[in-house]
Structure 1
Amino acid sequence: MKRSNTTGEAAIFRDVSLKSLKSQTGGIEAPISEVLTMLRDVSSRVDGEPAQTIKDAMKVLSSHELYAPSINRFRDADRIATQYYDGLIRLHHPARQRKRSVVDAHREKRGSHGERRRVSADVKNALENDNCWKFDILHLEKVSDHHALSQVGMKVFERWKVCDVLGCSDDLLNRWILSIEAHYHAGNTYHNATHAADVLQATSFFLDSSNVATHVNESHAVAALLAAAVHDLDHPGRGNAYLINTRQSLAILYNDNSILENHHIALAFQLTLQHNANVNIFSNLSREEFIQMRHAMVEMVLATDISRHFEYLAKFNKMSVIDVAEEQRDTNSLTICDMLVKCADISNPAREWGLCQRWAHRIVEEYFEQTREEKEKGLPVTMEVFDRNTCNVPITQCGFIDMFAREAFATFTEFAKLGELSDQLESNYEKWKLMTSQWTPSHNTNLIL
């Protein structure tokens, strides 16, 4: 039955041209972004010392940790106060040596090849184009008997010389990724090890962009790859709101804040550092190197919390990479990697149509099951739209692109010079849009099949 073109339905589909993006998203501008915009406007109308003062203020407001104290008045003169600052506030003490960019690191390591792993012919063929955006991770899932994460993981880690950075053996890294893979829930239709493999492959693809690699240091690149691999570890197939409403122990433990994201990264380090497992890939790092690697991985995994999506997007939008000091370059590197892993996590709508559609069916199926369980238990329904008996799947996909994916991909791909990904996203959007009028609840019966 053809759906009527009501005003409410028409509002679902917005003008999707990238030129109109700014006006479309004006309603979700962060307050700090508005302040920076006002200061930028003022600075363009003044000269001399006032202009420089405004620029200095903008630099402070654009810092990675806006509310982290910068206490300088006593640090050189008061030894006790300095120790309080370092011990209770600063917590970790980043080294000041210049860090190699991904470009520099790969130039130095060119020609270095590790020992090749033995894989079946089918898996080898499936891995052949793993550095391409059209890579079919779902085919690898099939031919590897659901070991896509360990298979693509070791190939990606080999390309990026992760063992060299961590100072560990290929065998140790292989044991680690197998342990991580084993702690994903195979029964989840979406949040499983194959999704982690997909995010890892996308992360590697983004890091391959020359404009990204120029501004990302080597340790952050490795942290991004490892964070991608663990970013949904032990995901129960239910969202944060469900865990809060059912008073799950994880919700109590993490005070209802980024519950799953905190759990994913905490468990990753628990598994890695346990003494009897022999999978500690960080054992040869210095204390300072480990602290920095851990800090970066935690930051990147927490950035995948969709409830903080616009916060990280605003931070990335206000980043400047022109004529910045060494310390700011390190902050920029982490900001870029936060955004990079975020985009990798929500990259399905920008994949080739066949993959886009199959991934959409997988996550919708998982949401259907959560909604069913919530209704059976008399719980608040987290997302009423994902009721199997009424859901119009294409509309939900258009809604996700409108709300989250479009601006994130437009912003990041402009920076990374990967505009073809945004083009693919818009093409998929149009396909979903055309399907909305023909979709009926009967299509929801066997989405995965």
Structure 2
Amino acid sequence: MLYLKFNKDISKQELNLIEKKFKQYSKETITPEFNVLNLSRTDVYAHVLSIFVRVNVHGILKVSVSQLLDFLIDVAEKYTEAPYHTFYHAADIVTMLYYLCHDLSANKYLTDLDITFLMVAALCHDMGHPGYNNTFQINTKTDLALRYGDGSILESYSVDLTIELIKKHKLDKKHKEMNEILTDLIISTDMAYHPKLQEEANQLFNTWSKLTTTNKNDFPSGDRLSLSRILLHTADISNTARPWTISKQWSDLIVKEIYNQGDEEKKRKLTISAGMDREVCSQKSITLKFADIILPFFESLVSLLPKSHVLVDFLASNRIQWECLELAKKRRVSSDIIIQPSNITFKRIRLGFRSQSYPTVFTDSAVLSLESILEDTDSDLFKDFATYLHQSYCIENLGFWLATQEYYQECSNRKELCQSMINLYIRANSTQEINIPCDMRQSILDDYNSENYHLHIFDDAAEAVLELMRVNSFLPWTTSSCSPPTCWPSPKKLVQSNSLTLSNSFSFSDKWNLIKLKQPSLSRKSCSSLDYIHHDSNNDRLDLSDNNNLFSVHSASTTTTTSGTRYRSMLKRVKKSILGNNQEDHFITPRSSFTADDTTSTWSSWRKSLR
């Protein structure tokens, strides 16, 4: 049972909830797709605590889990409410560090004590950050600038706050060198040290490539500290090298903080810092310029940790997403309808923040998205869309999706409802069988046959069906030339519900396409915003130009596919796309790049290229 010595304002009920969540997050798989911004404050405490316990921070520092939580909460209280530099940023860095150490094998070079110091530094590295950078502190002659001089002002402030809390909680009683190492690590997070850290990464590779030992204790302590700096910096700047939806969300927060500083500088009649004038610099230009700066660093990291090429892949694919996002804004489907990425988060559907890349139709007077249609089942738009589904012989998708919404709210007769849905939608050759991969279907049936009627049994299938409706039906429907019928045949569905509210704990799997692409027999397929179709044929070309043939496919004869392409070929394609090179070559197309008229004309040919 958890007990807090200092944070007495945390109620017993909250502590019990943290403990319960802690046990859940201890079993959670940590990947770059893990998004801390989807968590409540209680969940964040539990999540970070679970990572600290996984790497045995409490054991190394000789403290209890309760003492660790007490320290963690005190650290959180020292963070400000700046748009980006919050405790959530710190939690995200801790998360990525665990991924770097555990999944990308950095821990084979570091001792448990090294990792302990690294985790504590990550947690504390931006404490007290006011949301205005070191340059602003100097130019406005703040108290912090007067106290710490012209060097790493905010980092030095974070160091002082860290040491203060370390002493308060007596975390350094067994390791007297702790404060010195934490100081070194936190100061190194200043972007001014970025070139130096890249050089250190190259030097480490040259040194370690000549070593024959595999014992981490044989690596010099100076080299291990250098690697710790590199890993902390990697995690700190990794938001640009994450899956698109997470990267975009962090970018929103960063740009908000940047623009706030530019506005304050303008208000004080100071020279606006480079890249901080909202009237001059777009979010895309800010993000991509930063990506250009950090790309060589991540390439150097690949030399040290070959598995980290996945981060470079994310950098490359996100660049394409930004380019496509800008082009999509210019893409006019008709005189009064434009397809654009949605800025609306449909909170009733637990899709994280993926909706930021979902297609939305802007008319003269309203914003129309698939989520907004499904939200109101009594509206004429919903009925017209359902009619379109019925006419295109895929009304079972809507029926199943509505049935899942009812299932999430049902408590008393979940077993009976699950059985009805299985018989109507899931079993092969059922009356309204939905089109999902065999693996997914079998997984649902296995749970059902073992009488495991849990809340999330239909999660993956629900997202799969939603994506099918989005790509195969919603976009074609928005540009359909036929007049919408005034009434529509009632689909034979299991339930009818006006409430689409889901459980707060509902979470969809982002790996639907990884499963789906293995099913060559499917007649309908979709691409999620995180998956890419790779064309490897000299006869295929995707034109990236702002004209009526945008994103069209030519001579789609023979194509092959791949996912997780190697980083260098990815960068080559990115470079060509940015330079406007339309030569026949490799190219990667995000799902959100498809516009409505392209979808209807090219989907069948694209489908054949999927594995």
Q: TM-score range by the shorter chain?
A: 0.5 to 0.7
- Partners of 1:387 and 1:447 lie apart in 2 by 25
State the percentage of identical aligned residues.
Answer: 25
Residue 415 (structure 1) aligned with residue 304 (structure 2): yes
User: How far does residue 393 in structure 1 lie from its aligned partner after superposition?
Assistant: 1.0
Q: Does 1:219 align with 2:149?
A: no
Asked whether the equivalents of residues 130 and 201 of structure 1 are also in contact (C-alpha less than 8 Å), the reply is: no
What letter is aligned with 2:302? Answer: T
Taking a change above 3 Å as real, the CA distance of residues 147 and 243 of structure 1, as seen in their structure-2 partners, is farther
SS in 2 for 1:418: helix
- Would you say the 8 A contact 1:176–1:280 is kept in 2? no
The Cα offsets for residues 11-50 of structure 1, whole Å up to 9 and x where unpaired, read as: xxxxxxxxxxxxxxxxxxxxxxxxxxxxxxxxxxxxxxxx
The aligned counterpart of 2:221 is: 330
Aligned counterparts of 2:258 and 2:328: Cα–Cα separation in 1: 21
Question: What whole-Å deviation, never above 9, does each CA across 1:135-155 have from its counterpart, x for those lacking one?
Answer: 111111xxx2x3454222210
Q: Does 1:138 align with 2:29?
A: no
What letter matches 1:180 in structure 2?
V
SS in 2 for 1:387: coil
CA contact (8 A) 2:44 2:88 kept: yes
Matched, 1:352 2:254: no
Counterpart CA distance in 1 for 2:254 and 2:194 is 18
Equivalent position SS for 1:242:
helix
Shift of 1:188: 1.1
Q: Does 1:309 align with 2:194?
A: yes
Give 2:176's aligned residue: 290
The amino acid of 2:298's aligned partner reads F
How far apart, CA to CA, are the structure 2 residues paired with 1:313 and 1:223?
Answer: 21
In the alignment, the residues of structure 1 paired with residue 57 and residue 21 of structure 2 have an alpha-carbon distance, to the nearest angstrom, of 25
1:290 is aligned with what amino acid? K
Deviations 1:218-262 (A, max 9, x none): 211110000000010011000000000011121122211011111
Q: Tell me the CA shift for residue 438 of structure 1.
A: 6.0
Answering whether residue 151 of structure 2 is matched by residue 257 of structure 1, we say yes
- Provide, for residues 46-74 of structure 1, a one-character-per-residue CA deviation record: whole Å limited to 9, x for no partner: xxxxxxxxxxxxxxxxxxxxxxxxxxxxx
Q: How does 1:174-189 map to 2 (within 5 A)?
A: 174-185=69-80, 187-189=81-83
| Alignment equivalent of 2:324, drawn from 426, 434, 438 | 434
CA distance in 2, matches of 1:220, 1:340: 11
Shift of 1:127: 7.0
- For 1:210 and 1:403, how far apart are their aligned partners in 2? 23
TM-score, length-normalised on structure 1? 0.65
Conserved in 1, the CA contact under 8 Å of 2:17 and 2:42? no
Query: Which among 116, 119, 129 is matched to residue 28 of structure 2?
Result: 129
Change (3 A) 1:129 1:352: farther
Distance 2:326 2:293 in 1: 17
Q: Which residue of 2 aligns with 1:157?
A: 52
Q: Cα distance 1:270–1:119, how it changes in 2: closer, same or farther (>3 A)?
A: closer
Give the counterpart letter for 1:312 in structure 2: L
Q: Deviations over 1:388-423 (max 9, x none)?
A: 33432112111110012x112222134222222211
What whole-Å deviation, never above 9, does each CA across 1:168-212 have from its counterpart, x for those lacking one? 111111100000011111x21100000000001011111114642
Unpaired runs of 5+ residues, structure 2, are: 1-14, 331-339, 346-355, 357-611
Give CA deviations for 1:336-357 in whole Å, capped at 9, x if unaligned.
1100000100000111110000
Measure the CA separation in 2 of the matches of 1:263 and 1:231. 9
Deviations 1:98-142 (A, max 9, x none): xxxxxxxxxxxxxxxxxx9753877876775352221111111xx
One-letter amino acid matched to 1:205: Y
Higher relative contact order (CA 8 A, sep 6+): 1
Going from structure 1 to structure 2, the CA distance change for 1:395 and 1:258 (only over 3 Å counts) comes to: same
Give the structure 2 partner of residue 401 of structure 1: 291
Instruction: Determine if contact 2:55/2:112 at 8 Å carries over to the other structure.
Output: no
Asked if the contact 1:148–1:197 (Cα under 8 Å) also holds between the matched residues in 2, the reply is no
Relative to 1, partners in 2 of residues 1:418 and 1:264: Cα closer, same or farther, differing over 3 Å? same
The correspondence for 1:382, drawn from 236, 256, 273, is: 273
Where does structure 1 lack aligned partners over 5 or more consecutive residues?
1-115
CA distance in 2, matches of 1:413, 1:331: 21
Q: Is the 8 A contact 1:348 1:355 kept in 2?
A: yes
Look up the match of 1:63.
none
Corresponding residue for residue 256 of structure 2: 365
Residues 229/247 of structure 1: CA separation in 2 closer, same or farther (3 Å cut)? same
State the distance in 1 between where 2:232 and 2:243 align.
19
Shift of 1:382: 1.5
Residues 148 and 314 of structure 1, relative CA distance in 2, 3 Å threshold:
farther
* Contact persistence 1:392–1:436 (CA under 8 A): no
8 Å CA contact 2:22–2:50 kept in 1: the answer is no
Q: Distance in 2 between matches of 1:149 and 1:294?
A: 25
Could you say which structure has the larger radius of gyration?
Answer: 2
**What corresponds to 2:421 in structure 1?**
none
1:156 is displaced (CA, Å) by: 0.5
Correspondence for 1:173: 68
Aligned mates of 1:324, 1:333 — CA distance in 2: 16
Distance 2:183 2:171 in 1: 16
How much does 1:435 deviate? 3.0
Instruction: Summarize the Cα distance change of 1:324–1:247 in structure 2 as closer, same or farther, 3 Å threshold.
Output: farther
Give the Cα–Cα distance (whole angstroms) in 2 for the partners of residues 425 and 147 of structure 1. 31
**Counterpart of 2:291 in 1: which secondary structure?**
helix
Distance 1:120 1:294 in 2: 29
Change (3 A) 1:210 1:138: closer
Matched, 1:318 2:212: no
Which has the larger helix fraction?
Answer: 1
Question: Alpha-carbon deviations, 1:345-371, whole Å to 9, x = none?
Answer: 000011111000000010000111111
- What amino acid maps onto 1:399 in structure 2? K
Equivalent residue in structure 1 for 2:18, among 119, 130, 147: 119
Counterpart-to-counterpart distance in 2, 1:182 and 1:447 = 30
Q: CA deviation at 1:439?
A: 6.3
Answer yes or no: is the 8 Å Cα contact 2:263–2:277 preserved in 1: yes
The CA distance in 1 between the partners of 2:59 and 2:22, in whole Å, is 25
Distance in structure 2 (CA, Å) of the matches to 1:327 and 1:119: 39
| TM-score, normalization by structure 2 | 0.48
